[in-house]
Chains A and B, each alone.
Chain A
């Protein structure tokens, strides 16, 4: 009796393990196909990261909008983390009010382009009053003025094969967004703040990213270049942005 039970138990346990393993493999493939696995899915924290990213991607449609506020709710204090870029090139551009600044857009696009600040300002203007939370815990509400990234992606003809949009900045930081956030109507290339048509330099002049559905560090400042890609494996350490290289998660919808 006990032998029989042992053998039966062994058999069912074995079959269960095989079914479980192949189920996991299928789930991983499906998750990858539907873009539910973040680039920093490795390591001991990877399972939690993947669950968080996948769950939030399944919950948040492209149309789900971050909360917007009234002008009276704009914070009087908008703190800044980090100095303006110290490179000579950046300081010269700042001195000449970014006359020679260009935003390069390349990669999986039908029309690689180079936009001046005036080019971006000539595009449809979008304004938002949104909440920005720093990963440290503090937060503020500000108005941001800019062009939706989706408009620029349409102008350059982003390929349907694209999986990520990668951003490079003058302070040597870089970030990336998945297409859900890249096409999101509130994702802005912001060139103005709180009613003023120019960004204060420490807030990322001349143009910064605004991603109001994620923590502040995803809203990269001092933009220099945008590259549309189908994989981030070959960029940096392949973790999707410099944030995981510094110990912070790639996805910061929290």
Chain B
């Protein structure tokens, strides 16, 4: 499997920022592990789901939020460079593969969904939780049903991304961990 330098660099930068986003996202979530639908929700109001997380690890959201936004910027800038810089990769490998396909149909659908549906949804629902950004474009939060709905969708999509990453690592391991990771680092199999 051959990967261009851009794909390799953006792959590992995205991987690192994803881990940072996940860790900091959990730190923020621990402050209030309840999810709601609509505009509002708090202790004393009905929740959609009470996550089985202890409410004793609160107070991690300060550094959590600092790290979340730093890694979000890295992830978004990297993702932008990847999408804009590897159009031929999308065309030849993912959307209209010709000759011997690099990826199976299931892989192509999964990658396209992750890159063009799940990541944009994370950015959208993240922005929808910002009172400053929604003061300029309120429709991004009203279209989702409210600020707490955006928070809930942000959580659900984060879980879908975790499922993707786990499946991705398992499949790479089954197919030959050293060979595939080597290819993603060095560019050649």
Interface on A for B, CB 8 Å cutoff?
A: 44-45, 47-49, 51-52, 56, 59-61, 64-67, 69, 73, 75-77, 79, 131, 133-141, 212-215, 246-249, 253-254
Contact = CB atoms under 8 A, between A and B. Distances in A.
B143 interface: no
Contacts of B142: 67
B56 interface: no
Given A48-B66, A247-B63, A253 B132 contact: yes
A248 B134 contact: no
Nearest to A248: B62
Interface string B33-44: 010000111111
Contacts, number: 123
B44 A48 contact: no
B66 A213 contact: no
A141 B42 contact: no
Interface residues of B, number: 38
Q: Which 6 A-B pairs have the closest CB atoms?
A: A48-B70, A253-B132, A247-B62, A137-B32, A45-B66, A138-B42
B135 A64 contact: yes
14 contacts: A45-B66, A49-B70, A51-B73, A56-B130, A64-B132, A64-B135, A67-B134, A77-B45, A79-B44, A133-B131, A135-B62, A139-B42, A247-B63, A254-B130
Contacts of B43: 77, 79, 138
Contacts of A246: 62
Given A64-B135, A79-B44, A248-B65, A73 B28 contact: no
A135 B73 CA distance: 20
B132 A139 contact: no
B39 A141 contact: yes
Contact of B40 (A48, A56, A131): A131
A63 B32 CA distance: 32
A73 B32 CA distance: 22
Contact of B41 (A48, A139, A249): A139
Most chain B CB atoms below 10 A, which of A45, A59, A79, A246:
A45
Interface of B: 28-29, 31-32, 34, 39-45, 58, 61-63, 65-67, 69-73, 129-136, 138, 141-142, 147-148, 151
Contacts of A56: 130, 132-133
A49 B131 contact: no
Given A48-B66, A75-B40, A248-B62, 8 more contacts: A45-B69, A75-B42, A79-B44, A133-B131, A139-B40, A214-B132, A247-B63, A254-B131
B35 to A, nearest CB: 9
B67 A45 contact: yes
A136 B31 contact: yes
A249 B73 CA distance: 16
A52 B73 contact: yes
Given A52-B73, A131-B39, A139-B39, A254 B66 contact: no
